[in-house]
Structure 1
Amino acid sequence: MSRESPLSVAAALTVPPLDRGSVVAGHRGLTREVLWVDIMHAPAESFVRAGDLVLTTGADIRQPGVRDFLTFLLTSPAAGVVVSPPPEAAFGELYAALGPLADRHDFPLVHLPWEVAFSEVQRALLPLLTTSGQDAHVQMVIGRRERDSADWPGRAEAFANALNALAASAGVSVKSSVTDDLVMSHFSSPPPAATVSALVASARQRSGIPDDLASWVLLPPDQGHAVTVASSATAPTPDGPVGPRHFAEVLRQHPRSMATVLETLQPLIDYDRTRRGQLVHTLEVLLNEATNTSAAARALYLNRHSLLYRIKLIEELTGLSLKNPADRFQLEVSVRVLQLSAAGVDRDLSFEGRGQ
Structure 2
Amino acid sequence: MSIVRATRFGIFQGQTPMALDETLRALYDRAIADPSSLSDEERRRIAHRPPPEEEDALCRDACGLSMSELLTKAVQNGDSLSYQEARLVTAGVLLKQAGSLFGERMKLSETDRYLSLEAEEAVKTEEMVAAQKNAWAVEFRWHAAERAARETLNNQDYRNIKFAMHVLWQEHVLSLTETTVCGLVLFFPKMPEWPSFKEQIETSVRHGLNGIISLRKDAAIAKFTLHWVEDNDPSALRNRFATTRDGNQFPAGLRLDSFLYVDEEALRSYDAPKPFVWLWEPQDSAEPLKVHIKHIAPVLFARLTQRDLSTEKARRWPFLRTSELEMLHYEASRSLTTLGERDDIWPPHPRTL
Q: Which has the larger radius of gyration?
A: 2
TM superposition score normalised by structure 2: 0.25
TM superposition score normalised by structure 1: 0.25
